[in-house]
Structure 1
Amino acid sequence: MFGHGRDLVLQNNGFLALGTVAAVILFFGLRSFDDEGRFNPLRAPMPQKVVREGGAPVSVVVDAQRDGHFVLDAQIGGRSTRMLVDTGASIVTLRASDARKAGIRPRERDYRVPFSTANGEVLGAPATLPVLTIGDIELRDLRIVVLPDDKLDISLFGVNGLNRFERRETTPDTLVLYTG
């Protein structure tokens, strides 16, 4: 009788382990399908969306990337530009190649303002971006700094850009920028 009870415990532990493995596979498996039902193990977050009330934009909703960062899909000079939301950057910082989309082409002597970055100190060129568009929300006459492409992997949407919105809410998964 003692051996039978032990076999039953081992059998239950086996079912428990099998059930746990199945639940983990199901959880990660379901996360690997996109909204159209196609299998995509590298599924990216949903693109940002503009929420409207009465036809007017009231917010921009941005899902976190897998690494937890928020990336905006902006338009500069009518061309798509990905920008990392960076609350550690006091000013919107563009790679020189992204600034060129708006016709901003700093000369060597324009790179005179020192900035401390994760990669050390670098000289940036101050400028004004005529229009930066997120969805159909336009931010006009935005102060920026331009850095050489080799000093910055992705353009940064810094605090002065964030402050153009009425308010913002952040959870680990979502950033919401409110227009009013």
Structure 2
Amino acid sequence: MGFFLLSLSFLSQANIVAVGLMPGMAILEKDGQRLVIKAGQEKQGITLIRADSEQCLIEINGVRQTLLLGASLASGYTVTKGQEVRLQQDFGGHYYAQVKLNGRTVRMLVDTGATTVALSGDMARKLGIAYAKGRRMRSATAGGIVNSFLVHVNEMNLNGITRYNVPVSVIEGSHPDIPLLGMSFLGQLKIQQDNGELVISE
């Protein structure tokens, strides 16, 4: 497991600097004070969401920002406009999206009525998701009550909109035949319709 440190001599003017990174931990310098933060921890208004040996994702005042090793986040930084995705409505009135789950692309049906993202057991196996290790549950479907498992997908990406540790319901068998993009992902985003398009934005 690698761990890297970087000299601060040329970053003395920075407000927040990523000076050391490793999986699940970051060493940040804020106004000259060094902070060691583990994933999920909050110190001096900075929450570490995730980290590896090259970059980390932090949250400050509800805004998430990625820092590369040695990069700085100066005070008074501006937040760029969030990513926006536009989906065309099909002839049946549905919206479909190409979504990456842990780097694997899956065509999904946008379903704001689904509490979570939902996959069939068959699809989960194709994606390498060990769902049997998840929390066993019972889910109501059009065909009745079925066995399901609640798991968390490390990363989901919709055309540049990325969310981490997303709850996913995996239903044993082959249904739903088309995975559902439900509210465990969409609930963190803004959704609106615009002239036959579904606009999803951060």
TM-score (norm 2): 0.55
Mapped contact 2:102–2:153 kept (Cα < 8 A): no
Name the residue aligned to 1:177.
200
- Deviations for 1:124-155, whole angstroms, at most 9, x for unmatched residues? 11100000111122111101111134221111
Structure 2, unmatched stretches of 5+, are 1-78
Question: Structure 2 residue aligned with 1:145, among 165, 169, 189?
Answer: 169
Whole-angstrom distance in 2 between the partners of 1:69 and 1:171: 14
Tell me, what secondary structure is at the counterpart of 2:119? Answer: strand
Question: Structure 1 residue aligned with 2:139, among 107, 110, 115?
Answer: 115
Mapped contact 1:68–1:172 kept (Cα < 8 A): no
Indicate how the Cα distance of structure 1 residues 169 and 79 shifts in structure 2: closer, same or farther if over 3 A, else same. Answer: same
Query: Does residue 76 of the first structure (1) align with residue 101 of the second (2)?
Result: yes
Number of equivalenced pairs: 124
Question: Structure 2 residue aligned with 1:63, among 88, 107, 122?
Answer: 88
Tell me, what secondary structure is at the counterpart of 1:103? Answer: coil
For 1:3-152, what aligned pairs fall within 5 Å after superposition?
Answer: 57-100=82-125, 102-107=127-132, 112-152=136-176
Structure 1, unmatched stretches of 5+, are 1-53
Mapped contact 1:106–1:125 kept (Cα < 8 A): yes
Whole-angstrom distance in 2 between the partners of 1:160 and 1:133: 13
**What is the one-letter code of the residue matched to 1:89?**
A
Name the residue aligned to 2:183.
159
- Of the two, which has the highest radius of gyration? 1
Shift of 1:99: 2.7
**What is the one-letter code of the residue matched to 1:115?**
S
Higher share in helix? 1
Whole-angstrom distance in 2 between the partners of 1:136 and 1:101: 23
**What is the one-letter code of the residue matched to 1:92?**
V
Higher share in strand? 2
Tell me, what secondary structure is at the counterpart of 1:151? Answer: coil
**What is the one-letter code of the residue matched to 2:139?**
F
Name the residue aligned to 1:9.
none
Shift of 1:177: 0.8
Tell me, what secondary structure is at the counterpart of 1:150? Answer: coil
- Deviations for 1:60-85, whole angstroms, at most 9, x for unmatched residues? 11111111111111012322101111
**What is the one-letter code of the residue matched to 1:159?**
M
Indicate how the Cα distance of structure 1 residues 91 and 172 shifts in structure 2: closer, same or farther if over 3 A, else same. Answer: farther
Tell me, what secondary structure is at the counterpart of 2:128? Answer: coil
The sequence identity of aligned pairs, in percent, is 27
Whole-angstrom distance in 2 between the partners of 1:139 and 1:102: 17
